Chain A
Amino acid sequence: DAGVIQSPRHEVTEMGQEVTLRCKPISGHDYLFWYRQTMMRGLELLIYFNNNVPIDDSGMPEDRFSAKMPNASFSTLKIQPSEPRDSAVYFCASSYTGPNEQYFGPGTRLTVT
């Protein structure tokens, strides 16, 4: 079975541009998590969904960040407008048991210049 799929793997964009990160969870997993990883702050949970419904978005840093899950097999994380401090690796993870035993995707390395 394929693992969590993320695209793109690398994204370089200029400040002010819109960025969309994509995630396909493991089939049958009804929890989906978005994380951000930086050297300074480590791994931060941004938002998570259960059955396509956002449950906790308290980690979303600002209104510039938004996430959607239109169906069980697809989610997006959008940053509009992007800023250099958004540069990080963004991970998507999925689970069938809730917050426990999450399976991570390979991540998207975002660089905002």
Chain B
Amino acid sequence: AQSVTQPDIHITVSEGASLELRCNYSYGATPYLFWYVQSPGQGLQLLLKYFSGDTLVQGIKGFEAEFKRSQSSFNLRKPSVHWSDAAEYFCAVGPASGGYNKLIFGAGTRLAVHP
């Protein structure tokens, strides 16, 4: 069955520290991969996406993610976190071709940033 696991429900980091949010997926075929961010009271905003090619993808707001096929992972990273990065982050997988036709979201990781 298709699924997305975000092992960390809550993460707290200090401003300026590095960040890595974990995402693992189970999918029957090669998926497309996404990270979304949701600020309080807002909708989900697309941070970055992986379709094919270079496994290290750059996104908005200084975020990057690395696709590791052997580990079925798509972890999100940022070298230096800003207070404004406090939000909830969702990993999602979607169909690269045919088959299952929905975007599957993880449960989310809530990020808190200490000054």
Where the two chains meet, the residues of A that have a C-beta atom closer than 8 Å to any C-beta of B are 4, 42-43, 45, 48, 55-56, 91, 93, 98-107
Contacts and interface: CB of A to CB of B under 8 A. Distances in A.
A106 B102 contact: no
B49 A101 contact: yes
4 closest pairs, A vs B, by CB?
A104-B43, A100-B94, A104-B44, A106-B43
B45 interface: yes
Contacts of B32: 100-101
A100 B105 contact: no
Contacts of B108: 42-43
Contact of A99 (B36, B46, B101): B101
A98 B94 CA distance: 9
Interface in B62-86: none
Interface of B: 32, 34, 36, 41-46, 49, 51, 90, 94-95, 101-103, 105, 107-108
A93 B107 CA distance: 18
28 contacts: A4-B43, A42-B105, A43-B105, A43-B108, A45-B102, A45-B103, A56-B102, A91-B44, A93-B43, A93-B44, A98-B94, A98-B95, A99-B94, A99-B95, A99-B101, A99-B103, A100-B32, A100-B34, A100-B51, A100-B94, A100-B103, A101-B32, A101-B46, A104-B43, A104-B44, A106-B41, A106-B42, A107-B42
Contacts of B42: 106-107
Contacts of A107: 42-43
A74 B39 CA distance: 25
Contacts of B103: 45, 99-100, 102
Contacts of B102: 45, 48, 56, 99
A93 B46 CA distance: 11
Contacts of B43: 4, 91, 93, 104-107
Contacts of B107: 42
A101 B36 CA distance: 10
Nearest to A109: B41
Given A100-B103, A101-B34, A104-B43, 20 more contacts: A4-B43, A42-B107, A42-B108, A43-B105, A55-B101, A91-B43, A91-B44, A93-B43, A98-B101, A99-B94, A99-B101, A99-B103, A100-B32, A100-B34, A100-B94, A101-B46, A102-B103, A104-B36, A106-B41, A107-B42
